[in-house]
Amino acid sequence: MPLPRIGRGTTLTDQAYQAIKNAIITHHLPPNTFLLEEQLAQELGLSRTPVRDALKRLAYERLVVITPNKGAVVSEISAADMQKIAVIREALEPLAAGQAAGGAHEEDLAELAKTLEGQGRAIKDGDYTGYLQLDCDFHRRVAVATGNELLADIITNLNTQVQRFLILARNLPEKAPLAVTEHRIVLDALAAHAAAAAETAMREHLEKVHRRLFDTYAAL
C-alpha cells in the first residue's frame, strides 16, 4: 500500500514510525509483509535513516521482526498472542486505574473526557482508525495518571497490539459504542477518586472487550 508522504511537524523518525505503525495496525501492511527500507523511504519521501530507526522502534514494540541479513517483516498475530496480551492487561490495567484514581489531577480528567468525546465523534463519522487511536490514548492516559512511566509504556504497547486484533474482528461499528460506555464508567470512578470502583470498572471493561474479541474469532 502507498504510504502518505511525510510533511513537517515532529521528527522524521517519529513521523515514519507513526505512518508505518498505522499501516501495520490497519493491516494495510499485513503480517509477514517484507519491509524494505529503500521502498518505504521512497513512499514516505525520506532518507533510509529515519525509516531504519522507525523499524527498530517498531521491533521493540513487537510489531516488526528484524532478522540479521534478512531484513524486517511485519510480525504475525494469533489467538494465542491475544490470550497472552489479555492476561497481562487484566493484571496491570485495573491496578493502574486504581492508582490513577488517587493521583489523577483535573487536567488528567479533562484530557480523558476529551478523548471520550473524540471517540464518540469518530464513531459517528465512521472513522474507526481514529477511534482506535483514541481508544489506545484513553488507556495510556489512565496509566500516565499513575505517575509510573514504565507502567504507562507497557500498557500503551499492549494496547497497540490489541488494535490489530480489533481491526481484524471487523465489528467495530457494533462494538465500539459499548467500549465507550465502559470507558465512561472508568472515568466516573476516576473523577470520584474511588480507587476500588476504578479498578473494578477497568477490570470489567477489559474482560468484556476480550470476551467480545474471543467470541468473534471463535465464529470466524
Which pLDDT tens digit goes with each residue over 144-156?
Answer: 999 999 999 999 9
Q: Is residue 5 part of a domain?
A: no
Domain that holds residue 28: 12-74
120 and 57 housed in the same domain: no
Q: What is the pLDDT of residues 123-134, one digit of tens each?
A: 999 999 899 999
103 and 166 fall within a common domain: yes
Indicate the SS3 state at residue 103.
Answer: helix
Beta bridge partners of 67: 71
End-to-end CA distance of the chain: 25
Residue range 65-75: mean pLDDT, rounded: 94
Q: pTM for this structure? A: 0.87
Same-domain status, 70 and 84: no
175 or 3: whose pLDDT is higher? 175
Q: Is it the case that residue 7 has pLDDT exceeding 90?
A: no
Q: Count of domains in the chain?
A: 2
Helices (H), the chain: 12-25, 37-44, 48-60, 79-103, 106-125, 128-144, 149-169, 172-191, 195-219
Q: Are residues 185 and 135 in the same domain?
A: yes
Q: Please say which residue of 74, 103, 123 terminates a domain.
A: 74
Lookup: cell for 12 = 522524521
Please report, for the domain that includes residue 98, its CATH number. 1.20.120.530
Which tens digit of pLDDT belongs to each residue from 186-213? 999 999 999 999 999 999 999 999 999 9
Instruction: Please state, rounded to an integer, the average pLDDT across all residues of the chain.
Output: 93
* Res. 10 pLDDT band, cuts 50 70 90: confident
